[in-house]
Structure 1
């Protein structure tokens, strides 16, 4: 793994575990066993530029994971249920959910730049787009598919956050039991 990829991978883990603001540059450099010069070579604008790279990696990973669930399952509903089952299993086994949500990483988002806000918005929009395309392919109009995709992303993200805050996978389990009632995915 090259230095830049190492910095992104390890910083993402640190941001998930501790939040963006709680992780100092010295911690990132220490964990990656790199130098300050090497860090600034790859991220001349500093820690926030690294955060944006982390968000891009998380976005790519989340979208790829969702698409794999869609490919592996015969119906969109089954894909969503499979995704939720993986999230529930991850939470039940590890007591945390890493890699599927980036909100945890950015719990103090108000203190970051417009560029980071835009990147987060892009991430949500891309996930919504994946869901919207699937819903449109099942006969929903563009407008209805976009609305239901937004609701689906909000429900999943909200159930993840509630599970973390309540220290229980119950919110995700309840969502999985009733998902078709909320967004009308029968197949």
Structure 2
């Protein structure tokens, strides 16, 4: 029998994967329980707020994983290659773990919207740190970080819909030029 923390972590990880690939509305709690291989009662024990709580916490989990990846790779090309690898490995089903939920449910739930906004803000902070290390002026870095984040999100969407990593690679090349020009 799984320990309490393991069951909760399995539910959260399963939900994060399903929300990322299917979206909020297409993911049912029964599917989370089945794919997580846990008793149904454990879902509401660990997540008394139901699907909304599960989405909020899974967005935070996924955001933390992406933030860690951003910090671990010290160049933008490396980050975009990680995204490309994830998309190819998932047969172009796994895009951005936050965008999928944000597009599907952030307009309906303030808690989900806030979780998505917090995720993007945390990524932006890492991008600002990266840009400043690259030589971008501190006052210019936040705006440029927003541009980078928006370009990457758009590239992920194009890559997923085209089933081709070329948009990510093109955005990486163009962002490199943009960043070099800002230094």
| TM-score band w.r.t. shorter chain | 0.7 to 0.9
1:22 maps to 26
Give the stretch that moved more between structures: 42-51 or 94-103: 94-103
TM-score norm. by structure 1 comes to 0.85
Matched position secondary structure for 1:98: coil
Q: Structure 1 pair 98/131, CA: closer, same or farther in 2 (3 Å)?
A: same
Displacement of 1:111 in angstroms is: 4.8
Any residues of structure 2 matched to 1:163-174 within 5 Å, and which? Answer: 163-174=159-170
2:64 maps to 60
1:141 maps to 137
| Structure 1 residues 108-139: Cα deviation after superposition (integer angstroms, max 9, x where no partner) | 12453111111111111111101112222344
Displacement of 1:100 in angstroms is: 4.8
Give the stretch that moved more between structures: 135-144 or 113-122: 135-144
The aligned length equals 179
Q: Which runs of 5+ in 2 are unaligned?
A: none
1:124 maps to 120
1:3 maps to 7
Matched position secondary structure for 2:38: coil
Q: Work out the CA distance in 1 between the residues paired with 2:29 and 2:22.
A: 13
- Which residue, out of 138, 148, 151, partners 2:147? 151
